[in-house]
Amino acid sequence: MGGSLLTDTLGNGLKCIARQSPGATECCGLTFNSGSRDEVMDADHGLAHFVEHTIFKGTSRRSGSYVLNRMESVGGELNAFTTKEETTVYSLMPAGYFRRAARLIGELATESVFPERGLHLEREVVCDEIDSYLDSPAEAVYDLFDEMAFAGNPLAHNILGRKQTVMDFSGERCRRYLRERFTADNGVFFYLGPEDPQRVLREAEKAFAALPLKAVGDLRTAPQLCRPEVAVQDSGSHQAHTVMGVEIGGLHAPDRHVTALAVNILGGPGMNALLNLALRERNGLVYTVEASTALYSDCGLMTIYFGCDHQDLERCRRLVGRTLDGFASKALTERALAAYKRQYLGQLTLGLDNREQTALSAGRAILHGLQPPSFTLTAEKIASITPEQLRSAAENLAKSPLRTLSLS
């Protein structure tokens, strides 16, 4: 995506990335290095997500209705999300309203009051969200797989928390979370849009000047993945929803581009993905099969998901294993590899049109000390991959013991 790029650090220590890109929309926000894996106490499970839900309920100067309508009234969106390692508050809006959005987000991050009435209503909403996940085995199986793979580490527990903890969160606990976690040295401001980056940073200095300066200490411990395990849980589902996974390198792994290409060939969105050919096209055993990665600051997982009839579960598992072994058994020809590279880069090109995701990805990269996302640099990395490097990556996936969880 063209346009000038500026990365800098504000006077209070807040890191910033601003990319100028012509267009009718702009996106900006704050992302903080704090998520569900930082909830080390059982009583805090779900707190980051609950704060994300309730940060819009009003500030010391503005009512909740003012907050909700401030960007909506100009056709924009105000949103937030929580992951295992980040909490993000951002706005996507028509071009020309960056200043409005930045000041509102700055106020939310520093002055949200979490009124009891708002908390009471949102507790019910979050509990309903927990129930909705439990009612969707295709989603719940990922959380349960993490509980199995990361047992004993805070990465194991799900982002939503439990109903018991959610019902106990108070306004003071939420306000303390902001003071401890939404701090200048623990966050990144990101912007993508037509504004001049220098002007963007000048406005950011004003909008985020009130952020506390220092976060609490790093509470994270690197996980030790549990021994290989195969588990089947009864969920009453008409299908067996299954996740199979192996450990891979995290965000900083030097081979992450090779792994990304290997996983895309194995189970990416293309109908010609190896697992789709093996399980669906040739055998008609599944409607959906996909491989994906979850990359964290110090570790990662490659997971394969499929849903099948109960009687086909073992056959599908064997086919996954054979597909992995076959992928790793011999290097692709240069011609075949070139075709897979072209497909992968084409998929990435389509993603460039998603300005919102581009801005969010830039913020996350800077947060974790990575270079700003660049399609040109990524294309160079992919182009340099050799058949033997790809075969080695596939071999690492195939030889690692698969952990498997099925909800049947």
Residue 242 makes CB contacts below 8 A (sequence gap 6+) with: 141, 305, 306, 307, 308, 313, 316, 317, 404, 405, 406, 407
pLDDT of residue 153: 94
Checking if the pLDDT of 224 tops 60, the result is yes
pLDDT of residue 304: 97
Please give the helix or strand (H or E) that residue 293 lies within, else none.
strand 286-295
Residues 146/156, Cβ–Cβ less than 8 Å: yes
What separation in angstroms does the CA of 197 have from each of 19, 47, 203, 231? 6, 34, 10, 51
Checking if the pLDDT of 215 tops 80, the result is no
Residues 110/211, Cβ–Cβ less than 8 Å: yes
* C-alpha 140, offset from chain centre: 16
* pLDDT, average across residues 67-81: 97
Query: Which ranges of 187-294 would DSSP assign to H, the alpha helix?
Result: 197-207, 256-267, 274-276
* pLDDT, average across residues 258-275: 97
Checking if the pLDDT of 388 tops 80, the result is yes
Query: For 230-407, CATH number?
Result: 3.30.830.10
What separation in angstroms does the CA of 128 have from each of 53, 54, 121, 122, 132? 13, 15, 11, 10, 6
Residues 252/297, Cβ–Cβ less than 8 Å: yes
Checking if the pLDDT of 79 tops 70, the result is yes
Token pair for 187? 């966050």
Q: At what angle do helices 98-111 and 197-207 cross, to 10 degrees?
A: 30
DSSP state of 330: S
pLDDT tier, 232 (very low <50, low <70, confident <90, very high otherwise): confident
Residues 38/57, Cβ–Cβ less than 8 Å: no
pLDDT of residue 164: 94
* pLDDT, average across residues 322-349: 97
* pLDDT, average across residues 61-66: 95
DSSP state of 59: B
Q: What is the pLDDT of residues 158-193, one digit of tens each?
A: 999 999 999 999 999 999 999 999 999 999 999 999
Residue 170 makes CB contacts below 8 A (sequence gap 6+) with: 119
Side chain identity at 29, as an amino acid letter? G
Residue keyed to tokens 């908390």: 119
Which of 88-92, 329-333, 400-404 has the weakest average pLDDT? 400-404
The percentage of the chain sitting over the pLDDT mark of 90, rounded to a whole number, equals 89
Which of 196-210, 212-226, 232-246, 255-269 has the weakest average pLDDT? 212-226
Return the CATH fold of 5-207. Cytochrome Bc1 Complex; Chain A, domain 1 (3.30.830)
Provide the β-strand partners of residue 58: 63
Q: Which one of 134-138, 232-236, 398-402 scores highest in mean pLDDT?
A: 134-138
pLDDT tier, 230 (very low <50, low <70, confident <90, very high otherwise): confident
The reply to whether 5-207 and 230-407 are identical in fold is yes
Residue keyed to tokens 């993945």: 225
Checking if the pLDDT of 400 tops 90, the result is no
* pLDDT, average across residues 349-377: 94
Checking if the pLDDT of 360 tops 80, the result is yes
* pLDDT, average across residues 291-295: 97
Going from N- to C-terminal start, the domains of the chain cover: 5-207, 230-407
Residues 387/331, Cβ–Cβ less than 8 Å: yes
* pLDDT, average across residues 71-96: 98
In the chain, count H helices and then E strands.
15, 11
pLDDT of residue 80: 98
* pLDDT, average across residues 340-354: 95
pLDDT of residue 234: 80
Residues 365/373, Cβ–Cβ less than 8 Å: yes
Separation CA 103–CA 157 (nearest Å): 34
Residues 364/31, Cβ–Cβ less than 8 Å: yes
Token pair for 207? 């909008």
pLDDT of residue 91: 98
pLDDT tier, 229 (very low <50, low <70, confident <90, very high otherwise): confident
3-state secondary structure of 66: helix
* pLDDT, average across residues 288-294: 97
pLDDT of residue 11: 93
Query: Which ranges of 220-312 would DSSP assign to H, the alpha helix?
Result: 256-267, 274-276
Residue 303 has φ and ψ, to the nearest 5°, of -120, 150
pLDDT of residue 2: 55
Separation CA 294–CA 157 (nearest Å): 15
Checking if the pLDDT of 37 tops 70, the result is yes
Token pair for 396? 């690492």
DSSP state of 5: E
Which of 2-6, 153-157, 298-302, 314-318 has the weakest average pLDDT? 2-6
Checking if the pLDDT of 1 tops 60, the result is no
Instruction: Indicate the average pLDDT of the chain.
Output: 95
Separation CA 97–CA 88 (nearest Å): 19
Q: How many CB atoms lie within 10 A of CB 114?
A: 23
Provide the β-strand partners of residue 276: none
Separation CA 362–CA 111 (nearest Å): 26
Separation CA 13–CA 218 (nearest Å): 17
